[in-house]
C-alpha cells in the first residue's frame, strides 16, 4: 500500500475497532448496571437516530471552513470527551443524555472521513476497498475478544476498557488535520424529487424493514446468547465469525450479482434472514446452530448490502448518486435502526430474546412480501 494512504487505513482500523466494542457490548454493560431492556433499546435507538441528523449538520459546518481537517480532529476529540462522560454516569437518564451527544459526534466524523478518503484517492478510487477492509479487521479483532475481556474484568467496567480505543481514534485522526477541503456532502434534502422515481419508495421501505429486523440482533444478541448459557468468549467468537464471513462475501458478491441479478438475490437474502432470526430465537442454546446462523450473515448482510448498492446505481445514476445515498442511509439505517431498536426493546421486556428475534423474523418476512409483490407487478406489466 502507498505510504501516503496508510494513515487512512489506520483511521478506519481505529474507528471500527471502537465500534467493535460499542455495538456488541454496550447492551451487556447497561444490563450489568442494572437497567432493563427499554434503556438498552434506548441507547441503540439514539445511536441510530443520531445517524439521521449528525452527518448533514456536521457537513454544513465543515463546508464553510477552509480547514476541514481541523474540524475532523475536533470531532474525534469531542467523541472521546463525550465517551469519557460514561465513566461517571449510572442512571438511565444520564446514560441516554450522554449517548445522544456522543452519537452526534461519533456518527458525524465518518461521513466526512469517507469524503476525505475519496478526495485523497482521486482517480485511484479502486483502492478504496483495500483501505476500508482495515475497518472490518479492527471490528473483527475487538468484537471477537471483548467478550472474554469483560468476562475477566466485569461488564460494569466496559467504559473504562473501551476508553483507550477512543484515545487511539483521536491519535489516528491527528495526521489528517491538514487534509484539504472536500466537496459538500449531499443530504437527504438534496434528494428532493428522487423520492418520487418509480420503484424507489418500495425499495427504500424494504431496506428500512430489513434494517429494523436487525434491531434484536444489534441490541440484544449478546444478552440473548448469555441468557442461553454461552460465555462471553463464545459470544465474541460468534460475532467474529459473522464479520469474517461478511468480509469474504463482499469479495464474492459482485460475481454472484453478475450471475443471478441483484433483484433475484435480494429475494433470497430476505428469505434467509427470516430463517436466521427464527433459528436464533428458538435454538440459542445450541452453539453449532448459532454458528450456522451467523454464517448466513454472508447473505442477510453482505450480499443484501451489495445488492442494494447495485440497485441504487440504477435508481440514482451519475450525479444523482450522492443525494440518493444520503436518502438511502438516512431512511434505512437511520429510521429503520430507530424502529428496530424500539421494537426489540418492547419485545425483550415482554418476553425476552425469543420474542424479540421472532419479531425481527416477522419484519423481515414483511420486507420479503413487499419485494415479492413488486416483482410480480413488474412481471405482470411486461408484454
Final residue of a structural domain among 167, 185, 203:
185
Burial profile 279-303: b = 16 or more Cβ within 10 angstroms, e = fewer = bbbeebeebeebeebbebbbbbbbb
Final residue of a structural domain among 166, 185, 204:
185
Q: 222 and 315: one domain?
A: yes
165 contact partners, CB below 8 Å, separation of at least 6 = 14, 17, 18, 21, 142
CB 1 within 8 A of CB 9: yes
CATH number at residue 54: 1.20.1250.20
User: What is residue 200's predicted lDDT score, i.e. its pLDDT?
Assistant: 79
Counting residues of the chain whose pLDDT is more than 90, the rounded percentage is 35
Q: 171 and 258: one domain?
A: no
> For residue 101, what are the domain limits?
1-185
Q: 75 and 214: one domain?
A: no
Final residue of a structural domain among 185, 209, 231:
185
Q: 327 and 218: one domain?
A: yes
Burial profile 170-194: b = 16 or more Cβ within 10 angstroms, e = fewer = bebbeebeebeebeebbbbebbeeb
Q: 266 and 290: one domain?
A: yes
Q: How many CB atoms lie within 10 A of CB 123?
A: 5
Number of domains in the chain: 2
Residues 158-169: tens digit of each pLDDT? 999 999 999 999
Mean pLDDT, the chain, whole residue set: 83
Q: Model pTM greater than 0.75?
A: yes
Q: 127 and 216: one domain?
A: no
Query: What is the arithmetic mean of pLDDT over 76-84?
Result: 95
Burial of 29 (0-12, 13-18, 19+ CB in 10 A): buried
Q: 285 and 145: one domain?
A: no
d(CA 211, CA 218): 10
Give the number of C-alpha atoms closer than 13 A to the C-alpha of residue 292, restricted to the C-beta side: 11
Please compute Rg for the chain using Cα positions.
20
User: What is residue 128's predicted lDDT score, i.e. its pLDDT?
Assistant: 66
d(CA 181, CA 311): 30
Q: 218 and 150: one domain?
A: no
Reported as a pLDDT band with limits 50, 70 and 90, residue 373 is confident
Q: 211 and 100: one domain?
A: no
Q: 111 and 197: one domain?
A: no
Reported as a pLDDT band with limits 50, 70 and 90, residue 382 is very low
- Of 2-16, 26-40, 135-149, 171-185, the poorest mean pLDDT is in 171-185
Q: 199 and 170: one domain?
A: no
Q: 137 and 276: one domain?
A: no
Q: What are the cell numbers at 110?
A: 465518518
Query: What is the arithmetic mean of pLDDT over 181-200?
Result: 56
d(CA 254, CA 229): 38
Q: Is the pLDDT of residue 259 over 80?
A: yes
Query: What is the arithmetic mean of pLDDT over 207-221?
Result: 91
Amino acid at each position: 500500500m502507498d505510504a501516503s494512504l496508510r494513515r487512512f487505513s489506520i483511521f478506519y482500523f481505529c474507528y471500527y475497532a471502537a465500534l467493535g466494542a460499542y455495538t456488541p457490548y454496550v447492551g451487556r454493560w447497561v444490563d450489568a448496571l442494572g437497567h432493563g431492556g427499554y434503556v438498552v433499546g434506548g441507547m441503540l435507538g439514539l445511536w441510530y437516530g443520531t445517524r439521521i441528523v449528525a452527518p448533514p449538520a456536521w457537513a454544513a459546518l465543515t463546508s464553510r471552513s477552509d480547514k476541514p481537517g481541523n474540524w475532523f480532529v475536533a470531532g474525534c476529540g469531542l467523541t472521546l470527551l463525550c465517551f469519557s462522560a460514561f465513566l461517571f454516569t449510572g442512571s438511565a437518564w444520564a446514560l441516554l443524555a450522554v449517548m445522544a451527544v456522543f452519537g452526534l459526534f461519533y456518527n458525524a466524523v465518518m461521513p466526512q472521513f469517507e469524503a476525505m478518503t475519496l478526495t485523497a484517492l482521486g482517480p485511484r478510487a479502486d483502492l478504496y476497498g483495500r483501505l476500508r477492509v482495515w475497518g472490518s479487521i479492527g471490528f473483527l479483532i475487538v468484537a471477537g475478544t471483548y467478550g472474554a475481556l469483560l468476562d475477566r474484568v466485569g461488564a460494569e467496567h466496559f467504559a473504562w476498557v473501551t476508553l483507550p480505543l477512543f484515545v487511539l481514534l483521536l491519535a489516528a485522526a491527528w495526521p489528517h488535520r491538514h487534509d484539504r477541503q472536500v466537496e459538500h456532502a449531499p443530504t437527504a434534502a438534496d434528494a428532493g424529487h428522487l423520492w418520487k422515481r418509480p420503484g424507489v419508495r418500495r425499495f427504500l421501505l424494504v431496506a428500512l424493514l430489513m434494517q429494523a429486523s436487525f434491531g434484536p440482533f444489534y441490541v440484544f444478541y449478546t444478552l440473548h446468547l448469555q441468557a442461553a448459557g454461552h460465555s462471553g468468549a463464545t459470544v465474541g467468537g460468534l460475532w467474529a465469525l459473522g464479520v469474517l464471513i461478511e468480509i469474504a462475501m463482499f469479495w464474492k458478491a459482485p460475481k454472484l450479482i453478475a450471475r443471478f441479478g441483484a433483484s433475484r438475490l435480494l429475494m433470497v437474502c430476505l428469505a434467509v434472514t427470516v430463517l436466521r432470526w427464527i433459528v436464533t430465537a428458538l435454538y440459542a442454546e445450541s452453539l453449532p446452530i448459532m454458528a450456522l446462523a451467523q454464517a448466513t450473515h454472508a447473505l442477510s448482510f453482505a450480499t443484501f448490502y451489495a445488492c442494494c448498492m447495485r440497485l441504487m446505481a440504477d435508481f440514482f445514476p451519475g450525479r444523482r448518486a450522492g443525494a440518493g445515498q444520503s436518502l438511502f442511509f438516512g431512511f434505512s439505517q437511520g429510521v429503520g435502526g430507530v424502529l428496530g431498536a424500539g421494537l426489540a426493546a418492547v419485545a425483550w421486556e415482554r418476553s425476552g430474546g425469543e420474542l424479540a428475534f421472532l419479531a425481527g423474523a416477522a419484519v423481515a418476512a414483511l420486507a420479503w412480501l413487499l419485494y415479492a409483490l413488486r416483482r410480480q407487478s413488474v412481471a405482470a406489466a411486461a408484454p
